[in-house]
């Protein structure tokens, strides 16, 4: 069981979207495995889906990737598929990822068949099954795309070598982890070539890994990796408190990817921590705009709150300020929403939506926040800025209503005696 030496439990990669294809592949493997547990491993259907070197069938090259015989066969494959597949799908795109997965699986099956026919022809009638070849291809792709990433690994062998005899997690650079993995595969593969009783398709693992490397390089993943490495280095420097080193990496990354909201937000924090508050507010504004464009409303609100803590005067571009106000209102952040509506109206008096925005802010202050004084101030502003308009008429009506409420409160308070 080669997974004993290298069982990944996570990486430092942040996913940007749900890995739909990876989840579908996981589900298909589980469903097929459960079906054969019910039908029995001697089922005729299992042998029809499996790839047999002596019976070359193109469709079986794919279907065999979804067939597993026992829990120790499928569980490690599912873990590897989730850890590495989700990250690759996120960066490669769903269709490219699916194509690479099936290509590596099919090619690795063919390579194992060649090894069997060449060195163990007596086994040519036995089926080759499992997703290991496809997942080995993912490891090759991962090494090209994420060679700079740290992988969290649960490994008893590594722990024993380090003198540790209790459960814990090690962190390995992707390059080191993959090198360890391929050495183990080569060692087992060479030993299995002379063992007719070997049931593990090690040459499928090795060839799948090599196919993944080739696909990654020819597909340009190494260039993407070089760029994203700068972002990750910026994050690491930030976590280590090396603010100016982090700033340099992030600025260089953003010169190529100016719309990356995550990098903008981190750069804003480095500016803030180095005392450059104006630059920090500007970067926060650009990061928020990026999140709003990408539909990351929760992240945008979080960043907006950060920006306001940096500077209450900091504003978003007009096109995003009103959108931010609406999102804040939806999340029931009425204090920030009212302020955002008021800021938009005050900063853009010539905008056709400005009077409505000021009225919305005033209404929110009056009804949601019980701040009648601030509401009256905004109603009065609408009257002065937009006289002889329907907005001024609404403002007068609501101002009168606010005045009556204030008068009732004053009158009511005078009815009480205080010691």
Please indicate, yes or no, whether residues 26 and 169 belong to a single structural domain of this protein: yes
Please indicate, yes or no, whether residues 204 and 245 belong to a single structural domain of this protein: no
Q: What is the mean pLDDT of residues 28-32?
A: 92
pLDDT value of position 413: 54
Q: What is the mean pLDDT of residues 391-413?
A: 79
Q: What is the mean pLDDT of residues 359-387?
A: 91
Please indicate, yes or no, whether residues 211 and 233 belong to a single structural domain of this protein: no
Whether the CB-CB separation of 234 and 211 falls below 8 Å is answered with no
Whether pLDDT at 192 is above 70: no
pLDDT value of position 179: 82
Whether pLDDT at 178 is above 90: no
- Report CA-CA distances (Å) from 371 to 67, 236, 340, 360, 397: 66, 45, 16, 13, 17
Distance CA 230, CA 252 (A): 8
Whether the CB-CB separation of 97 and 84 falls below 8 Å is answered with no
- Report CA-CA distances (Å) from 176 to 6, 53, 144, 214, 405: 11, 34, 13, 19, 71
Neighbouring CB atoms inside 10 A of 218's CB total: 10
High-pLDDT (> 90) share of the chain, %: 38
Distance CA 99, CA 105 (A): 10
- Which two structure tokens, joined as six digits, stand for 262? 């995550």
Whether pLDDT at 198 is above 50: yes
Whether pLDDT at 211 is above 70: yes
153 pairs with which residues across the strands? 8, 170
Whether pLDDT at 417 is above 50: no
DSSP secondary structure, 38-66, as one string: HH-TT-HHHHHHSBBTTB--HHHHHHGGG
Please indicate, yes or no, whether residues 161 and 193 belong to a single structural domain of this protein: yes
2 alpha-carbon distance from chain centroid: 29
150 pairs with which residues across the strands? 173
Comparing 124-138, 360-374, 405-419, the range with the smallest average pLDDT is 405-419
Q: What is the mean pLDDT of residues 371-396?
A: 91
Residue 204's pLDDT band, with cuts at 50, 70 and 90, is confident
pLDDT value of position 3: 44
Please indicate, yes or no, whether residues 214 and 228 belong to a single structural domain of this protein: no
pLDDT value of position 411: 61
Average pLDDT over all residues of the chain:
84
Please indicate, yes or no, whether residues 28 and 130 belong to a single structural domain of this protein: yes
Domain, as residue range, for 396: 329-409
pLDDT value of position 416: 43
Please indicate, yes or no, whether residues 267 and 401 belong to a single structural domain of this protein: no
High-pLDDT (> 70) share of the chain, %: 88
Distance CA 188, CA 198 (A): 10
Flag whether 252 is in a domain.
Answer: yes
DSSP secondary structure, 285-331, as one string: HHHHHHHHHHT-HHHHHHHHHHHHHH-TT----HHHHHHHHHHHHHT
pLDDT value of position 9: 84
Whether pLDDT at 144 is above 50: yes
- Which two structure tokens, joined as six digits, stand for 246? 């982090």
- CATH number of the domain encompassing residue 12: 1.20.1540.10
Flag whether 19 is in a domain.
Answer: yes
Q: What is the mean pLDDT of residues 183-205?
A: 70
Whether pLDDT at 194 is above 70: no
Whether pLDDT at 419 is above 50: no
The predicted-structure confidence for 280-322, as pLDDT tens digits, reads as follows: 988 999 999 888 888 888 888 998 888 888 877 778 888 888 9
Please indicate, yes or no, whether residues 177 and 200 belong to a single structural domain of this protein: yes
Distance CA 136, CA 73 (A): 14
Number of structural domains (the chain) is: 3
- CATH number of the domain encompassing residue 241: 1.25.40.10
Whether the CB-CB separation of 217 and 245 falls below 8 Å is answered with no
Whether pLDDT at 41 is above 80: no
């Amino acid at each position: 069981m080669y997974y004993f030496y290298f069982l990944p439990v996570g990486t430092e990669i942040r996913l940007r979207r749900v890995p739909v294809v990876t989840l579908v592949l996981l589900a298909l493997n589980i469903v097929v495995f459960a079906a054969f547990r019910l039908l029995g491993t001697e089922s005729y259907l299992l042998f029809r889906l499996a790839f047999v070197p002596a019976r070359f069938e193109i469709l079986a090259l794919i279907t065999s990737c979804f067939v597993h015989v026992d829990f120790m066969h499928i569980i490690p494959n599912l873990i590897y598929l989730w850890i590495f597949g989700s990250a690759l799908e996120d960066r490669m795109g769903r269709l490219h990822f699916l194509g690479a997965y099936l290509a590596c699986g099919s090619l690795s099956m063919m390579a194992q068949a060649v090894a069997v026919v060449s060195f163990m022809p007596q086994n040519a009638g036995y089926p080759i099954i499992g997703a290991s070849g496809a997942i080995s291809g993912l490891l090759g792709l991962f090494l090209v795309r994420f060679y700079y990433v740290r992988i969290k690994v649960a490994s008893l062998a590594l722990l024993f070598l380090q003198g540790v005899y209790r459960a814990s997690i090690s962190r390995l650079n992707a390059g080191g982890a993959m090198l360890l993995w391929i050495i183990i595969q080569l060692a087992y593969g060479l030993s299995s070539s002379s063992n007719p009783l070997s049931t593990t398709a090690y040459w499928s693992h090795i060839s799948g890994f090599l196919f993944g490397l080739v696909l990654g390089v020819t597909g340009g993943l190494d260039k993407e990796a070089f760029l994203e490495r700068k972002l990750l280095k910026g994050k690491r420097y930030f976590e280590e408190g090396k603010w100016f080193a982090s700033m340099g990496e992030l600025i260089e990354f953003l010169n190529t990817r100016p719309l990356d909201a995550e990098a903008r937000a981190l750069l804003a924090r480095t500016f803030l921590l180095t005392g450059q508050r104006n630059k920090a507010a500007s970067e926060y504004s650009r990061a928020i705009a990026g999140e709003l464009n990408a539909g990351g409303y929760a992240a945008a609100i979080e960043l907006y709150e950060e920006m306001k803590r940096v500077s209450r005067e900091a504003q978003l571009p007009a096109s995003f300020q009103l959108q931010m106000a609406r999102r804040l209102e939806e999340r029931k952040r009425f204090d920030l929403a009212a302020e955002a509506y008021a800021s938009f109206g005050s900063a853009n008096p010539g905008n056709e939506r400005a009077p409505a925005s000021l009225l919305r802010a005033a209404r929110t202050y009056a009804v949601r926040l019980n701040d009648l004084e601030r509401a009256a101030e905004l109603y009065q502003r609408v009257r002065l800025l937009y006289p002889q308009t329907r907005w001024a008429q609404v403002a007068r009506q609501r101002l009168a209503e606010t005045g009556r409420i204030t008068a009732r409160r004053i009158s009511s308070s005078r009815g009480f005696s205080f010691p």
